[in-house]
Chain A
Amino acid sequence: MSEQKPLLTSRYEIPNAHTIEVAEKHGAYKSARKALLTMKPEDIRAEVKKASIRGRGGAGFPAGVKWGFLNPQEGEQVYLVINGDESEPGTFKDRTILNVDPHRLIEGILITCWAIGAHTAYVYIRGELAHSIKSLDAALAEARAKGYVGEKPFGKPFEIQIYTHSGAGAYICGEETALLNSLEGRRGEPRLKPPFPAIKGAFDQPTIVNNVETIAAVPDVIEMGGEPWCNLSRLAPADGGVRLYGISGHVKRPGIYEAPVGITMRELIDVYGGGMLHDDRPLKAVIPGGSSTPVLRPDLKVDAKKADHPLHPWHGQSEIDVPMGVDTYRALGTMLGTCCAIVMDSSVNMVEACRNLMRFYQHESCGQCTPCREGTGWLLDTLDEICEGRGRPEDVHRLVEIANNMMGNTICAFADGTAMPLLGFVQKFREEFVAAVEKGRPLQARHDDSTAALVRGRAA
């Protein structure tokens, strides 16, 4: 693991760090004070740009660049909206910030509001996370009582109000324009872009939508300076700083870990995750950054012979030895997404794993666009047939065809986020799909006795 002292998680191990008293004793609100009382908004924006914080919500867009799209007209009010929907399967990082160190997020919001000229911020949190909402509400009450949030934060005559807003169960509300509709009391259906939220967002006003972790990184950027923070990354300057990595599935120590941008998947699994859960079962596949990111296969080698290929330094190495970054993973044909990996060992049947996720997408499609509404259903139906032993030889090709017809044909990126992992599974594990179709009998259950025994425990 790295020797760098923890930043995002610096207060995770401190008892009661969720209270303002403890948080302040350990550095909270120092950066906000500095930013609001001594820095001009454009200087803050410049530091954040230099920091190269690639959006932590999944798309990896640089936060500083996004803030630069704002161009409020006379009479318009700028809003900041924080995306705490955290619904992408495999992802469980933002919740740790909300529960353990909510003051870090509040501090980031105060700095960001000042930097972009917003007087109101909403934090949209998925409805299931009732405790995280309570945790943030309690922290907000403390910050209001101290005068940090309100009419004059730290004495500065620049009013900032922060409100939490609860969702009510819908994955699609993590998509930023669906989130805005949900915030406005509507069905969570994505909006056509353009106009982008920076031009016309919440309540038709210019709006910046950022992920919880993105904004939680801002206080450290202000404290250290954009460039030094950026250089903590192994992939600086394009992809800066440190971030939260998640790991779940078949590893010994699933959890959330802070590390520099650019560690490898192998390090994440072996060093942070403590290695594979069962010593006799090697890694078969890993979904790198939430369910929408195409799967990696450790026995596949990077093919980047040409010297100008972005992955050339890793030519001939395993896919899981490429540093985890927004651009490196895109070059690898997958995505970094939310940087929360799902690890699968040799007992997992890839057709079953794919079916599990496609059931998720079928359930969560908002239904606005036909290719997505129908396509997710057809993918699931076809996989159900295959898994139940009624697959036909043409089914593997049909899966690919359906997915290809969904890509790029819808209002939001949900359909792409369904099609891409489906195509990844079929391309990288075609032999398993073909075998499942040919054998014409149900697949064995994916978790065998030894995993079930862990759950059954002594009761078994």
Chain B
Amino acid sequence: MAFALTPEREREVDELLTHYPNKRAALIPVLWICQRQHGWISPEVVAWVAQRLELSTAVVTGVVTFYTMFFQHPVGSHVIWVCRTLSCDLRGAKVIQDHLEEKLGCHAGGTSKDGKFTLLKAECLAACGQAPMVQIDDDYHENLTLEKLDQIIESYRGTPSAQE
């Protein structure tokens, strides 16, 4: 199915283009806008972005594949990133990771059977002083205990997915 941005998001793109001396510089912000609407960067999104910014699809794909936050496959309604780097590890990140794998019934990289949560490992998310922590969609959840984590996960169950 062909992809197109909503008129409101189109205006966001128009505004963005005024920030830079050329169109290409808007590529990453525009990909963000698309992912926020569509949930992931599908081949149709790549084709649309390429046309909008007058780039080849190869150039756009090259950029999409470089950055870990652009999803190249559909993901669950919510994405959980578990920080596993040293400061978090020292404060129990592995306990958090194991707990989530068991709770959601999937390993890192997988999605829970109900399609609600995709579980991913993250590298240092600049919250080392509040370790252990996870990022869920745009939100940081810090100084975690398992009890707190369980409550947080439940609070997401009823909420709609990050994209609409």
Contacts and interface: CB of A to CB of B under 8 A. Distances in A.
B39 to A, nearest CB: 15
Contacts of B135: 128
B101 interface: no
A459 B128 contact: no
B68 A170 contact: yes
Interface stretch (A29-37, A357-365, A390-398, A431-439): A357-365
Given A185-B26, A455-B145, A457-B145, A87 B124 contact: yes
B152 interface: no
Nearest to A340: B128
B56 interface: no
A254 B92 contact: no
A353 B87 CA distance: 10
A182 B158 CA distance: 36
A89 B86 contact: yes
A51 to B, nearest CB: 26
A72 to B, nearest CB: 15
Interface string A156-171: 0000010101111111
Contacts of B86: 89-90, 249, 287, 291, 342, 353, 356-357, 360
Interface in A2-26: none
Which has the most chain B C-beta neighbours within 10 Å: A91, A169, A454? A169
Given A186-B63, A360-B85, A445 B124 contact: no
Given A163-B19, A454-B145, A360 B92 contact: no
A65 interface: no
A460 interface: yes
Nearest to A458: B147
Contacts of B19: 122, 161, 163, 165
Contacts of A456: 95, 145-146
B123 A363 contact: yes
B126 A165 contact: no
A62 interface: no
B120 to A, nearest CB: 10
Nearest to A93: B126
Contact of B21 (A166, A203, A445): A203
Given A131-B138, A203-B22, A451 B62 contact: no
Contacts of A210: none
Given A455-B144, A455-B146, A459-B147, A166 B28 contact: yes
Contacts, number: 177
B32 A247 contact: no
A167 B67 contact: yes
Interface string B17-33: 00111101111110110
Contacts of B68: 168-170
B126 A185 contact: no
A249 B87 contact: yes
Interface string A164-182: 0111111100000000001
Interface in B97-140: 122-132, 135, 138-140
A196 B152 CA distance: 46
B96 to A, nearest CB: 7
B124 A131 contact: no
A127 B67 contact: yes
Nearest to A273: B129
Given A171-B123, A187-B62, A457-B147, A89 B67 contact: no
Contact of B92 (A92, A122, A246, A451): A451
Contact of A185 (B28, B130, B150): B28
Contacts of A168: 28, 31-32, 67-70
B140 A455 contact: no
Contact of B87 (A163, A167, A248, A455): A248
B42 to A, nearest CB: 16
Interface string A227-240: 00000000000000
Nearest to B23: A185
Contacts of A348: 90
13 contacts: A87-B124, A89-B86, A90-B87, A94-B126, A128-B125, A168-B68, A169-B68, A171-B124, A188-B66, A356-B85, A447-B92, A455-B132, A460-B146
Given A129-B126, A184-B25, 18 more contacts: A89-B86, A89-B128, A127-B67, A131-B140, A168-B67, A169-B69, A170-B68, A187-B62, A246-B128, A249-B128, A287-B86, A342-B86, A446-B90, A455-B96, A457-B145, A457-B146, A459-B150, A460-B146
Interface of A: 86-92, 94-95, 122, 126-131, 161, 163, 165-171, 182-188, 203, 246-250, 254-256, 287, 291, 340, 342, 344, 348, 353, 356-357, 360, 363-364, 366, 445-447, 451-452, 454-460
